[in-house]
Amino acid sequence: MAEYRSAGEAATVHEKALEAAAARVPAWAGRGFRYRPLVGGIMNQNWLVEVEGEARSFFLKIPGPGSEMFIDRLAANEAARNAHAIGVAPEVVFFDPADGLEVHEFLVGYRACTNADFADPAIQAGVLDIYRRLHAGPMLSLTKTVFDMIEEHVEQGRELGAHFPPAMDWILHRYGEAKAAFLASGLDVVPCFNDPMPGNFLIDAVGAGKPMKLIDYEFASNNERAYELGVLFAEMFYDEAKTLELIETYCGEVRPATVARIVVSRALADVKWASWAVVNRKLNTWDFDYQKYGIWKYMRARDVMADPRWDTWLRAM
């Protein structure tokens, strides 16, 4: 764990940026504070801040350079506030719409989930319960479907000279088939989280019975409901049997059309995040192999798209 520094002790560029950001929070004016970096995230600088006279600690996020290409900070703030209002997210303490600087209450007694946690049926049920509540909440100002996301990333990649796989034309052909099937059947648009990275789900770490919380609403938008479930099931590597079980948990029944929409959405989710990754490879120098991650995602999308049942799923929608 990194050591704390006090206000005025900044020694690095990032620490200086943190101290400048903290000075912009009106409620902290003239008060001492200490801080340390938090591990996690591959786009922003995240910090834990403790302020004199405050009983609680705070999470401060400084948006990373280039993240504005993917993130509507106003929409993210709206989604985070809506989620807090229904009890599934921490309080937003401060937000600056000029650059997206945000401060949230830091949730003490929680830990971030790992992929291994998502093998626990209780965790699975908790995630789907949060999703049901979010999906039943107020619509967001931003509607951005998976189709908007994919086409945006592909265009960004072309403009930046990103390295797409040799089979990209075939992948985009299959993508077009999926889009046509969804549009013909009608989209089921609800407020969606869109980013089920395990670390965004926080669970009780001290045995106090604390309810699960969901953090980091940067990619939230109104989107196709099946995509929300498809990207979750893909990220957690759930097999077909588990997928059917969780569809029944969420929907109360398993219908062929629902299964088809969610399975096809798994492929769309991998195309979306693969395209996001190869674009990011051109934008930053973080110690993360975006290109390798993206190519793996494209490979996994191809696995679904090449399944002999692909046309059957499209017709079943």
| Span 266-311, pLDDT tens digits | 999 999 999 999 998 988 777 789 999 999 999 999 999 999 999 9
- In percent, the amount of the chain with pLDDT more than 70 equals 99
Is 211 a residue whose pLDDT tops 70?
Answer: yes
How far the first Cα of the chain sits from its last, in Å, is: 49
220-230: pLDDT as tens digits:
999 999 999 99
Q: 275: how many CB neighbours lie within 10 A of its CB?
A: 29
Looking at every residue in the chain, the average pLDDT score rounds to 95
- Find out whether 35 and 22 touch, Cβ atoms under 8 Å: yes
Domains and CATH numbers, the chain: 5-105 (3.30.200.20), 112-316 (3.90.1200.10)
pLDDT of residue 287: 75
- In percent, the amount of the chain with pLDDT more than 90 equals 90
d(CA 123, CA 118): 6
Is 100 a residue whose pLDDT tops 70?
Answer: yes
Specify the 3-state DSSP secondary structure of 26.
helix
- Higher-confidence residue: 181 or 67? 181
d(CA 300, CA 295): 9
d(CA 70, CA 290): 15
Is 29 a residue whose pLDDT tops 70?
Answer: yes
pTM for the model stands at: 0.92
Q: What's the number of CA atoms in the CB half-sphere (13 Å) around residue 223?
A: 26
Specify the 3-state DSSP secondary structure of 5.
strand
Nearest to residue 60, comparing CAs of 87, 33, 86?
33
